[in-house]
Amino acid sequence: MRIGYGWDSHEFKSGIPLRIGGIEIEHPRGLGGHSDGDVLLHAITDALLGAIAAPDIGTLFSPGDARWKGADSSLFLEEAMRRMKAAGYAITNVDSTLILAQPKIGPHAAAIREKLAGLLGIPANCIGVKAKTPEGMGTDNAAIAHAAVLLEKSKTSSAKSSTSKPGHSQSKTRH
């Protein structure tokens, strides 16, 4: 197994759409950045890359590269997934925490989890999306995201059967 951890922050700016977790959220301000500023996708991308000891998102997708200007951040996540699969791993679950003063994420959490489920290829019940307000942190003009992932080696055709070993004591059946 491997664990991965990612963190990101972006500053709110007027006049641009707000994208968090691959969905657009109605809000007067969006998150600035060279790409679409999707702080949650960036944190999850870095968590996946970190789990396989790959270069981080800023190294693979340089902010100085015109190709990524305004880019849909799902492109970065897809590249991290490709590298993870090439390394022989699959995602078991993802957990994340957003820290932002506004907007409230609760009403959008289910939609974000469904979107992430599609992007990550795992069920929505394996994806945690939590949100907190930045009490006393002085970061009301920013959105912060933390993400953790658990990876397991991909299943192979030589996977063991579930038959118990001879002589192993049998547990009582519980109903």
C-alpha closest to that of 29 among 47, 14, 44: 14
Taking the least distance from each CB to Mg ion, the nearer of 105 and 147 is 147
> How far is the CA of 13 from the CAs of 17, 30, 69, 134, in angstroms?
9, 5, 16, 18
| Cβ atoms 21, 74 nearer than 8 A | no
C-alpha closest to that of 46 among 106, 87, 6: 6
Taking the least distance from each CB to Mg ion, the nearer of 30 and 89 is 30
Using the rule CB under 5 A, give the single segment among 15-23, 34-42, 143-151, 163-171 that binds Mg ion: 34-42
46 binds Mg ion (CB under 5 A): no
Mark residue 159 as left, alpha or beta (left: phi above 0; alpha: psi -120 to 50; beta: remaining). beta
Binding to Mg ion (CB under 5 A) within 74-103 occurs at: none
Q: Which residue minimizes CB distance to Mg ion? A: 42
42 binds Mg ion (CB under 5 A): yes
8 binds Mg ion (CB under 5 A): yes
In the structure encoding, which two tokens stand for residue 156, read together? Answer: 């192979």
Minimum CB separation of residue 66 from Mg ion in Å reads 17
Taking the least distance from each CB to Mg ion, the nearer of 40 and 91 is 40
Q: If binding means CB under 5 A, how many residues of this protein chain bind Mg ion?
A: 2
Other CB atoms within a 10 A radius of the CB of residue 87 amount to 15
Minimum CB separation of residue 128 from Mg ion in Å reads 20
146 binds Mg ion (CB under 5 A): no
Chain positions contacting Mg ion, by CB under 5 A: 8, 42
